[in-house]
Structure 1
């Protein structure tokens, strides 16, 4: 069972006619995603990849009845693109774009709460994928080729792929994998996604990939402990050797306080009942060993 997306969802692509949008739209179509429209202001009435292009999200939603939008718009227009989808009451918005100012995302988060009709994944994320169902984002098709009962939540795109590859090679499958994004402030956070996986009867094990900076993983683990969760959760926190005060890879991967370091996060997560993996190469085998012992 997938969460948030399935094969019935109709997807529009904001920025489809751009280089990145065009490439990844082809990949999503090849994966089986139902792409029903694209949005590029000024190109409405044309087609691209045999997909109709619209000038606005509202027009696209009215004509196609789409309920999901994925955004490949450049960063200086991306915040407006997200807001346009929120105004159109798009159920799920996935923003791949990086480099959106934090001040813009703060306003968007407030707008999401006010409207309370849309969910946002990202920005600066790889998106969401459910094998045999749908892909909304940039995950590599070849890795996510087996449906199963392992859910993945990650702040890192490449480590999402690495974890999925290990899990599939050991004979397991993925229910849904979600990259929430590496920025300081994101839409859906670790706790939001964990809640969905815990409610999903067909997700039996959850892999959480975190990193230095912020307290998203800590807040999620404290919530899990309070809920007395029964599903095994395996976590890897990247950045154990990262120096304090230096951004590492993602905009949000920067240690501001001691509690934001990888080691302190791992200690707190372990205390709250999460199984800790100290090296990314051991994610798959840890999942295997824990499931064998259940």
Structure 2
């Protein structure tokens, strides 16, 4: 493991491993990022002509960096983050995906004990200052040039296309903060906004959020306060992915799903629109919209929505805090996601019986109350969620300290009162909570959702469980080899073979959608969510969500086509690729090869943007195959919708 130390306007560090990371460091150096050294455990010497030290603490003493970028794989990343915290590196940027949730809970419990270090990530593309020529991350450099727009984003691919849009509009970027798609990111969207409004080079802001958590609602609260106290507030435009997300599914990113009581994507859109942010439905619109806002004009046109002024919509944020309750019944195939593992209700009941919890044989649905153990994304802590009914909109959160293995520091009396339970139920309720917390810790769960019913026995009330929905963090097994026994509880019967077959092994996330006829193939979870949403706005119906995993190679394209074509509803395939980390011409070659190898009979519409986009479009156009190449999203979407309606087979 190597840690390369960078210097931007200040100095920064970055943890690397292998040839790819060295190439990244060399590229960053050539761009202008100042790298002042690195770390290889137990060794000293040189790398890329820079000093290499044996540990981060010595690097801090000798090189005095201000930030570290951690590039190691998930199973090493937790230790690297902890080492950076112990060395008191001020800024820690973690790019690794699939760090186990409970490892991140431990990291956040450590961060809460100090005030020196800030964490960005995990599962983040990093931070880049186009003005300061500093990159701590893996952002595609051709998309970034010094300019006026600050970007704060949960999605890497959406942030790249947003950067490209600002370039096309002649605006460029000041800074891009990738908070990342993790369940518990170290830096929030609200904190990113604060940084950007205080940055003198930033004149306008692009905010990119998505389904999952309350971060965008908290950002809306912050924007309201900022606009109220600022004479000339910086214009803010926003995009939220996941309007068409499947309830109960993880849409590519680890954190892209809604826990009980969390808002929908539409709730977030209304909240942001209500505090004066212009809403766009596609990242290519950010440049024109922000250019219009900076000139003092109200942005208009397809795919753009505004409130008409903050004073008209102050009530919208309150409305948005009343989400529809998440369903307890799992959609078919919900346990196929690589970050989650759901088990059958009977298996969940067996786990609880081992902890002495009573299970109701029969229960009146109207008497059931919500009781769950999960994470509070706002406080980055584990918590108990309780509601006096089965409706999550009435739920309250009760945080407890990480490390509790069955005796959480929550007030059972307060829980009972909120659930409108008799005071005599405290002992039984406490036992149920202790059992849930014990399973949460032992099995590394992300959600243990139950329905409880009170059982009156004369002078006292006991609690019985009537339903259970248990989800465990599959990353603990896949990244670190823990929780192997939990894999045996996987409910294979409920899984769709197309969603978990070869594509899951290849890192491709494929989810079938209802009532669609256009297959989608996209590189990046945020861009894939947005593609489904934007197609719907254009009048189309996506048959699936498919994220190739950030890079679209000829092999992943071929695998993706294969799985999409297992769905007989698909009349056309829409390939929407942003060539950031992978060049557009390489992607185009892969599409042509896959089309020929598979002898496809379904027409394919290809939109390639980003690095080498013109060459990629030329390869598609001159292939002699029924492939339709476009630069503009709206034109590509219109063609895909037209072909799907015609239902042509080649």
Partner of 1:14: 15
Partner of 1:184: 183
Shift of 1:261: 2.1
Partner of 1:243: 246
Partner of 1:85: 84
1:150-165 mapped onto 2 (5 Å cutoff):
150-165=149-164
Q: Distance in 2 between matches of 1:273 and 1:132?
A: 27
Further displaced range: 150-159 or 274-283: 274-283
Q: 1:239 to 1:179 in 2, by over 3 A?
A: same
Q: Distance in 2 between matches of 1:264 and 1:36?
A: 45
Deviation per CA, 1:138-177: give whole Å up to 9, x if none: 11111112x1221100000011110011101111121110
Q: Is the 8 A contact 2:7 2:34 kept in 1?
A: no
Q: 1:258 to 1:273 in 2, by over 3 A?
A: farther
Q: Is the 8 A contact 1:12 1:60 kept in 2?
A: no
For structure 1, the residue ranges without an aligned partner over 5 or more in a row are none
- Secondary structure of the 2:52 match is strand
Q: Distance in 1 between matches of 2:250 and 2:52?
A: 38
Shift of 1:182: 0.2
Q: 1:196 to 1:12 in 2, by over 3 A?
A: closer
Q: Distance in 2 between matches of 1:104 and 1:193?
A: 23
Over the aligned positions, Cα root-mean-square deviation in angstroms equals 1.8
2:293 to 284, 290, 293: 290
Shift of 1:264: 1.6
What count of residue pairs does the alignment treat as equivalent? Answer: 287
2:267 paired with 1:264? yes
Q: Is the 8 A contact 1:240 1:263 kept in 2?
A: yes
- Secondary structure of the 1:178 match is strand
Partner of 1:225: 224
Q: Distance in 1 between matches of 2:178 and 2:247?
A: 25
2:53 paired with 1:50? no
Q: Is the 8 A contact 2:66 2:89 kept in 1?
A: yes
Partner of 1:27: 27
Deviation per CA, 1:228-266: give whole Å up to 9, x if none: 252211000012211111111100001335753221210
Shift of 1:46: 2.9
Shift of 1:132: 3.8
Q: Distance in 2 between matches of 1:209 and 1:257?
A: 23
Q: Distance in 2 between matches of 1:218 and 1:45?
A: 47
Q: Distance in 2 between matches of 1:255 and 1:245?
A: 7
Q: Is the 8 A contact 1:28 1:137 kept in 2?
A: no
Partner of 1:117: 116
Q: Is the 8 A contact 1:14 1:40 kept in 2?
A: no
Q: 1:195 to 1:6 in 2, by over 3 A?
A: farther
Q: Distance in 2 between matches of 1:204 and 1:132?
A: 13
| TM-score of the aligned structures, taking structure 2 as reference length | 0.43
1:98-109 mapped onto 2 (5 Å cutoff):
98-109=97-108
Q: Distance in 1 between matches of 2:203 and 2:9?
A: 23
Q: Is the 8 A contact 1:11 1:69 kept in 2?
A: yes
Q: Distance in 1 between matches of 2:135 and 2:77?
A: 20
Deviation per CA, 1:251-290: give whole Å up to 9, x if none: 0001335753221210111112211112223222111221
Q: Distance in 1 between matches of 2:290 and 2:235?
A: 9
Q: Is the 8 A contact 1:150 1:204 kept in 2?
A: yes
1:199-210 mapped onto 2 (5 Å cutoff):
199-210=198-209
Further displaced range: 275-284 or 254-263: 254-263
- Secondary structure of the 2:113 match is helix
Q: Distance in 2 between matches of 1:8 and 1:223?
A: 27
Deviation per CA, 1:216-237: give whole Å up to 9, x if none: 0111111221232522110000
Further displaced range: 17-26 or 71-80: 17-26
Deviation per CA, 1:27-77: give whole Å up to 9, x if none: 2112211111222224x2232222222221011122212121110112112
Q: Distance in 2 between matches of 1:272 and 1:36?
A: 43
Shift of 1:6: 7.3
- Secondary structure of the 1:254 match is coil
Q: Distance in 2 between matches of 1:258 and 1:238?
A: 18
Q: Is the 8 A contact 1:95 1:124 kept in 2?
A: yes
- Secondary structure of the 1:235 match is strand
Q: Is the 8 A contact 2:216 2:268 kept in 1?
A: yes
Q: Distance in 2 between matches of 1:28 and 1:120?
A: 21
Q: Distance in 2 between matches of 1:60 and 1:201?
A: 31
Q: Is the 8 A contact 2:171 2:287 kept in 1?
A: no
2:258 paired with 1:255? yes
Q: Distance in 2 between matches of 1:119 and 1:258?
A: 28
- Secondary structure of the 1:135 match is strand
Partner of 2:284: 281
Highest Rg: 1 or 2? Answer: 2
| TM-score of the aligned structures, taking structure 1 as reference length | 0.92
For structure 2, the residue ranges without an aligned partner over 5 or more in a row are 1-5, 298-650
- Secondary structure of the 1:208 match is strand
- Secondary structure of the 2:37 match is strand
